Amino acid sequence: MFLHTKLETRIDPIKIAFIGCGKFVSMFLAQYNHLNKIQIDSIVDININQAKKNCLNSGLSTESIGKINFSNSLNEILDRDIEIFIEATGNPIIGTVHADKIIKKQKHIILVNVEADITCGKYLSDLAKKNDVICSMAYGDQPSLILEQIEWARLNGFEVICAGKGTKYHPSFEYSTPDTVWGHYGLTKERAENESGMNPKMFNSFLCGDKSAIEMCAVSNAADLKCPENGLTFPAIGVYDIAKTMIPKSEGGVIDYDGQVEVISSIDLDKKDVPHDLRWGVYIVLKAQNEYVKNCFKDYGMVTDPSGNYSAIWRPYHYVGLELAQSIYSVALDNKATGFTKNYNADVAAIAKKDLKIGDKLDGEGGFCARGRLITSQKSKKENILPLGLSDNAIVKKNINKDELIKLSDVELNLPKEVIEAREYQYNLI
C-alpha cells in the first residue's frame, strides 16, 4: 500500500521533535503547513531565539510557533509523547550521544546527521534493532536517494556497478575554509549567513570534499559497496557520460571495482562548467545481464556506454529538507527506514589541511584544520587513523605536516562513553 493511502487511515498525529534547527530543518518547516497529520511537539536547540526566528522565516505563524515546546536539552523532552526524533545538529559526537539516548528510550530516530551515521552508524543501527525501533537515514539527503535507486535496481535483478552523486568539486577547494567559502558559491557573508541562516562551516564541508566523502561512506556502509582505492576522484562529466565513464577501468571507465561509490564533478580542472552536469543529483550505473536485456536498453532509448552493456539512471535534484516528510511517513506508517547502516565498510579519515603544531585544536568537518578522505574501515583500524567525525576539539600532540593522514595517536581526545563504546563495537566487527 502506498504511504499516502495509509496516511488516510491514520487517526492520531505523528508527533515529532527536532534536535537542531538549521537550514535542513528550516526547509522542512517551509512545507510543514502543507503536511497531513505531522505535528511538531518540540524543537531542541542551543539557541532558542534563533530557532524561533528560523521557524518564523520559514513561514510558520506565531500561533504555530507558540504551540511548539522549545528546549535547550534533549533530556527535558525524552519522556514526552513523541513518536519520532530527528537529529539534525550535524555534530557526529553530540549526535551519537543523542541517538544513543533516544534509541535506549525505545523511540524512533531519523538521522539528518550523516556525520554521526558514518562515525557510529553500524553501532546505532544494531542498537535500534535490539530495541525494536527504527534508526533511519533522512530522505532528501543524497545518500537516502541513492539507496532508493540501488534498492530499485537490486529488486529488479540488476547488478549495481557504481553509485554516487554530483557536486561542484575542484582540487583547490580542498583547502577552503569557513572564511573563504562564500566566494566559491557567489554569495556574500550577509546573504548567506544573515538572510538564509546558512552555516559557513557546514557549507564549506560541501565544497572542500568532506561532505562527499561522508555521504559516500554512508552509501558504502548502507549498500555494501566498495570504496575507491585512493579516495574519491571526482571525474568531471555530465549525465550522458555516466554510463561510459563510471564503469570499471577494464571496460574503458574510471572506477576501480564493480560495485563502488564515486562522486562526479560539475566543473572541470579549468573550473569550467560541464555540460548537462549532475551537481545537485544522484545516479547509479547498472549492467545488462544478457543480450536480451542489452537489446532492451537499446530498444527503449536508455543511455548506455558504447558497448550497450552499461546503463545509467539519475535523479537531477535532491530537495533536501523539503522532502524529509517521506522519512517521517515511512517510519510512522510502514515501520521502515529510508536507508540505514548495514555494514562497517568505510570510514572518513582526517587529513591535515595545513601544517599543524603541538597544542593546536582541530575543528572538525568543514573547518580550518583538517579535511576528509574516504578510506576502508580495515585501513582505518590497521593504521590507527583519526576519523574526521572524531576530530572536532581534538588536541594535537605532535607536529603534523600539511596533507598528512592524522592518526589517533597524534591527538588527545576527550570522547563521551557512548562514542567510545560505539567505535569499539565497530572495530570489533572487522
pLDDT digits (tens, 9 = 90+) for 42-96: 999 999 999 999 999 999 999 999 999 999 999 999 999 999 999 999 999 999 9
The pLDDT assigned to 191 comes to: 85
pLDDT over 90, % of the chain: 95
The pLDDT assigned to 1 comes to: 57
Distance CA 363, CA 367 (A): 5
State which H helix or E strand residue 137 sits in: strand 135-137
Pairing of strands 310-315, 411-412: unpaired
Q: Where in the chain is the domain with CATH 3.40.50.720?
A: 3-140+321-334
Please report the sign of the dihedral spanned by the C-alpha atoms of residue 270, residue 271, residue 276, residue 281.
positive
Mean local confidence (pLDDT), 385-402: 98
Q: Where in the chain is the domain with CATH 3.90.1210.10?
A: 346-427
Q: What is the pLDDT of residues 134-163, one digit of tens each?
A: 999 999 999 999 999 999 999 999 999 999
Please report the sign of the dihedral spanned by the C-alpha atoms of residue 391, residue 392, residue 393, residue 398.
positive
Cell, residue 48: 532558542
Residue 354 has what DSSP assignment?
A: S
Residue 198 has pLDDT above 90, yes or no: no
User: Contact, 307 vs 285, CB < 8 A?
Assistant: no
Residue 99 has pLDDT above 80, yes or no: yes
Distance CA 112, CA 172 (A): 28
State which H helix or E strand residue 262 sits in: strand 260-265
Distance CA 107, CA 116 (A): 17
The pLDDT assigned to 185 comes to: 87
Q: What is the pLDDT of residues 208-241, one digit of tens each?
A: 999 999 999 999 999 999 999 999 999 999 999 9
The pLDDT assigned to 46 comes to: 96
Cell, residue 197: 541562516
The pLDDT assigned to 410 comes to: 98
347 beta partners: 375
Residues 108-127 as b/e (b if ≥16 CB within 10 A, e otherwise) read bbbbbbbbbbbbbbbbbbbb
Query: Mean pLDDT across the chain, nearest whole number?
Result: 96
User: pLDDT band for position 310 (50/70/90)?
Assistant: very high
The pLDDT assigned to 197 comes to: 66
Fold that domain 3-140+321-334 belongs to in CATH = Rossmann fold (3.40.50)
Mean local confidence (pLDDT), 319-335: 98
Residue 174 has pLDDT above 80, yes or no: yes
The DSSP line for 49-113 is HHHHHHHHHTT--HHHHHTSEEES-GGGTTTSS-SEEEE----HHHHHHHHHHHHHTT-EEEE--
More confident residue, 240 or 198: 240
310 beta partners: 287
CATH no. for 346-427: 3.90.1210.10
Residue 104 has pLDDT above 60, yes or no: yes
